[in-house]
Structure 1
Amino acid sequence: MPRAGLSASAVVDTALAYIDENGLESLTLAAVAARAGVATPSLYKHVASLAELRSLLGVRVLDDVTAQFTADVMGRSKDDAVRALMLSYRGYVRQHPARYAAMPIDALHDPAAAAAGKRLLEVFLAVLRGYGLQGSVAIHAVRCLRAIAHGFTDIEARGGFGLPEGLDETYENLIQMYLTTLHKEI
């Protein structure tokens, strides 16, 4: 019988707290079980494997990111919405680098994460609708935005910007460069 209070969702919560403190690379079922105060075999009543736990983590992070991005862009349009989205993206990665690392890189082609990935994509597309972008032009614009935000935040999270110039200024320059490309599409 499953331990009272333990569920797949509670296991994911425990795993998220664990990776926040120890990083994604150190995640094991034994570590999650120890943190939950149960024996490792008890987790198998809620998650079938470490791979399934990682998949559940990825979906949860996608859902959390989607909720944060949606809240941050709500009521905004055009440049203001794009700036809010890009700042929200960076803010999430800065606050939760290990969680961000748990997000699937190609959620749309991951059967377990596809629905969550589509919801996140819809946030990006909604932000870009203010520019009248549709079809493949909108997809290219989403890819560019994601490449800029992911590339910068991944390098920043790994400590890869060692020069003394301010990172906020660099990121703002990237936002401005991206906005300039959107205005060329209009």
Structure 2
Amino acid sequence: MARARMTDESLVQAAAELADEIGFDNVTVPALARKLGVKDASLYSRLTSARDLRVKIAVLALAEMADKVGEALAGRAGKDALVAFANAYRDYAKQHPGRYAAAQLDLDPATAAASAAMRHSEMTRALLRGYHLSEPDQTDAIRLLGGTFYGYVTLENTGRYDSHPRDVAQSWSRTLDALDALLRNWPA
């Protein structure tokens, strides 16, 4: 049976799936070639380097995450928007741990600007409009939310909360309650 023609999209999708299976840090061109049943050299006709492969996975992950968060935010404001945003982010990270790790990759400014990274920032700013924050408080709140979500999800995904009897979902819910209270009562 003839192998289906590989497209750039199918190559990146396969690499993203591989990242979820074996971890983003373990994705290499040879590992992807094995998964696809091709020779390494055939992938280098589409990739300039291992870094290029990693960037492509990151860009895909950022777009997927932005789509999920955008769908969750539609028609919501205030705490409902905060919870929807946070849950979409957390759910994506749990369902796609390798892609989530890829989304944390430091991209060069041009690639970041052309990717969905800007959509993430715009959606976060839209969420914060419901809390009536202006600059520079809005930027500070974006950093607070990003750091909180990233830290919580990273610790959860690495099993750091597994040994404590408190249910992780209950702690997550209380964290979102606390963030909502803080955003509604932002310090002057």
TM-score w.r.t. length of structure 2: 0.91
How far, CA to CA, are the matches of 2:13 and 2:181 in structure 1? Answer: 40
How far, CA to CA, are the matches of 2:54 and 2:45 in structure 1? Answer: 16
How far, CA to CA, are the matches of 1:8 and 1:53 in structure 2? Answer: 11
| Aligned CA distance change for structure 1 residues 124 and 106 (closer, same or farther; 3 Å) | farther
What is the Cα deviation at residue 139 of structure 1? 1.0
Which residue matches 1:172?
173
What is the Cα deviation at residue 111 of structure 1? 2.7
- Is 1:135 equivalent to 2:130 in the alignment? no
Residues 131-185 of structure 1: CA deviation (Å, up to 9, x unaligned): 2223221111111111111111000000001211100111111101111111113
Letter in 2 for 1:58: A
Which residue matches 1:8?
8
How far, CA to CA, are the matches of 2:45 and 2:105 in structure 1? Answer: 28
Q: Cα RMSD between the aligned structures?
A: 1.7
Moved more, 63-72 or 86-95: 86-95
How far, CA to CA, are the matches of 2:93 and 2:35 in structure 1? Answer: 24
Counterparts of residues 23-38 of structure 1 (less than 5 Å)? 23-38=23-38
Which residue matches 2:112?
113
For structure 1, the 5+ residue unaligned runs are none
Q: Is the Cα–Cα contact under 8 Å of residues 8 and 47 in structure 1 kept in the other structure?
A: no
Q: Percent identity?
A: 31
How far, CA to CA, are the matches of 1:157 and 1:12 in structure 2? Answer: 23
SS in 1 for 2:111: coil
TM-score w.r.t. length of structure 1: 0.92
How far, CA to CA, are the matches of 1:54 and 1:113 in structure 2? Answer: 13
Question: How many residues are paired up?
Answer: 183
How far, CA to CA, are the matches of 2:149 and 2:179 in structure 1? Answer: 10
Letter in 2 for 1:63: A
- Is 1:152 equivalent to 2:168 in the alignment? no
How far, CA to CA, are the matches of 2:56 and 2:93 in structure 1? Answer: 19
| Aligned CA distance change for structure 1 residues 13 and 105 (closer, same or farther; 3 Å) | closer
Residues 32-59 of structure 1: CA deviation (Å, up to 9, x unaligned): 1121221110011111111001011111
How far, CA to CA, are the matches of 2:154 and 2:50 in structure 1? Answer: 24
How far, CA to CA, are the matches of 2:176 and 2:106 in structure 1? Answer: 23
For structure 2, the 5+ residue unaligned runs are none
SS in 2 for 1:135: coil
How far, CA to CA, are the matches of 2:84 and 2:185 in structure 1? Answer: 20
Letter in 2 for 1:171: W
SS in 2 for 1:164: coil
Letter in 1 for 2:43: L
What is the Cα deviation at residue 106 of structure 1? 4.7
